[in-house]
């Protein structure tokens, strides 16, 4: 694959967002990565390779505090990262887009589509994680961690010795409550394709089923991968994602 030169978009808040744009046919694809991920991952790169092959426009980017973008990860919030996605959609992507959101990116793509419905031709959610901050508070915060969060303003997660821990801040968890989507109808009528692994131990496949049931539109399909985990980065998983994205872009 030819080198993909990184460019930067400066937001009004001073954050410099790293992105890559491939010129090509419209509608384009725009990839929205996950929590603590960056735009150089397997799925983002595979989508770029596909778009190069078929001549389709493509955009991928890093949220503030992620990858090559400026800022500190621990300063980020769901609202700020959603604004990052809108800044890229408004200032970098051109014309109608099929948004492909992975994990947290599935939350970001829904928020972006709600804010800019006229720009979105379709959505592909991969192990989508809307409202994961609320889920973290409900299922992951033990009494001990709650006390630590109250005292320090953050907790380190995961609290074990075999994974590198990272900070989960009270600001992230509380601000996330302003963007919850799974408590009522999601007012989107565009076509949506959801893909989720049934062995996903990070975000249950039942979250995608709930998204399907809450979406206002009827052209919504959920593909469950029985042996799939959270990453869905195997060749057969990538093929599913690309097929879904191309179907919506070409349709």
Helix (H, G, I), strand (E, B) or coil at 26: strand
β-strands 192-197, 166-169 pairing: unpaired
CA dist., res. 128 & res. 145, Å (int): 26
Q: Is 230 a catalytic residue?
A: yes
CA dist., res. 11 & res. 94, Å (int): 18
Q: Where are the alpha helices (DSSP H) in the chain?
A: 42-54, 78-91, 104-115, 132-139, 143-152, 170-176, 205-214, 235-250
CA dist., res. 162 & res. 169, Å (int): 21
Q: Which of 201, 205, 246 is nearest to 224 (CA)?
A: 205
Q: Is the peptide bond before 175 cis (omega within 30 degrees of 0)?
A: no
Q: Which residue of the set 102, 103, 128, 208 is catalytic? A: 103
Q: Which residue of the set 37, 102, 230, 237 is catalytic? A: 230
Q: Is 103 a catalytic residue?
A: yes
Q: Is 69 a catalytic residue?
A: no
Q: Which residue of the set 62, 84, 131, 200 is catalytic? A: 200
CA dist., res. 141 & res. 135, Å (int): 9
What residues are labeled active site? 103, 200, 230
């Amino acid at each position: 694959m030819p080198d993909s030169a990184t460019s930067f978009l400066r937001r009004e808040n001073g954050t410099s967002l790293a992105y890559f744009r491939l010129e090509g046919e419209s509608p384009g694809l725009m990839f929205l990565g996950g929590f603590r991920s960056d735009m150089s991952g397997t799925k983002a790169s595979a989508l770029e390779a596909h778009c190069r092959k078929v001549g389709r426009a493509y955009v991928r980017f890093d949220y503030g505090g992620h990858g090559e973008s400026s800022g500190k990860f621990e300063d980020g919030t769901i609202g700020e990262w959603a604004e990052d996605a809108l800044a890229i959609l408004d200032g970098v992507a051109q014309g109608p887009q099929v948004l492909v959101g992975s994990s947290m990116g599935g939350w970001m793509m829904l928020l972006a589509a709600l804010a800019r419905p006229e720009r979105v031709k379709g959505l592909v959610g991969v192990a989508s994680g809307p409202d994961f901050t609320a889920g973290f508070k409900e299922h992951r915060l033990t009494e001990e961690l709650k006390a630590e969060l109250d005292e320090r303003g953050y907790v380190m997660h995961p609290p074990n010795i075999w994974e590198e821990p990272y900070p989960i801040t009270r600001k992230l968890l509380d601000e996330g409550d302003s963007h919850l989507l799974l408590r009522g109808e999601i007012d989107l009528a565009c076509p949506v394709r959801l893909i989720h692994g049934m062995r996903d131990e990070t975000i249950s496949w039942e979250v995608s089923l709930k998204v399907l049931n809450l979406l206002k539109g009827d052209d919504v399909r959920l593909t469950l991968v029985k042996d799939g985990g959270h990453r869905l980065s195997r060749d057969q998983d990538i093929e599913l994602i690309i097929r879904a994205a191309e179907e919506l872009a070409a349709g």
